Amino acid sequence: MLVILLAVFIQDLKSRSVYWFLFPVLVIPFFAISLLQRRSFAEILQPAWMILSFLAIQLLLVSAYFSIKNRHWVNITKELLGWGDILLLLSIAFYLSVLNFLFFYLASLVLSLMSWLTWKLVSARENKQIPLAGFQAIGLAVFLMSDWYCLHFNATDDTWLLNLIHK
């Protein structure tokens, strides 16, 4: 899984595109790990549906915003958001719990923007497209390694975040 996330990062950084087949391949270990944690299909699919609904609503609202702003229908996947960005988020929905997904999503957007601005200062390349899927893939790899090897907070359960919020 970490190798796939690294491949997404490298490919997105180099060419601003990612092979689509990496994302279904990423879902397989997410499902496998969840099943090894003795989670039922219902326990995996219920948060996934909530996350997928959230993403669908958000993509519709972003499309509506840019369509109203430009006074014609804007397909955000043409120039604003790549399919790799969307497919990565859809893949992650099958592993993370709802609050962990929201935490990761917000943190990864902020860190991606900060990373991109830093990259723009350091790099001589002129490219206006942010490699969002790549930055989010690396962020997810760090998030998952923190869970698996260091902090052991369980990214498939909201308990650690609820306890953190409650303190």
Predicted TM-score of the model (pTM): 0.88
Q: How many other CB atoms are there within 10 angstroms of residue 84's CB atom?
A: 24
Distance (Å) of CA 109 to CA 68, 84, 134: 24, 15, 11
Q: How many other CB atoms are there within 10 angstroms of residue 16's CB atom?
A: 17
pLDDT in tens, 17-45: 899 999 999 999 988 888 888 778 888 88
Is the pLDDT at 102 greater than 80? The verdict is yes
The SS3 assignment for 138 reads helix
The SS3 assignment for 40 reads coil
pLDDT band at 78 (very low <50, low <70, confident <90, very high): confident
* Residue range(s) defining the domain that contains residue 12: 2-166
Number of domains within the chain: 1
Output helix, strand, coil percentages for the chain, rounded to the nearest 5.
Answer: 75, 0, 25
Is the pLDDT at 127 greater than 80? The verdict is no
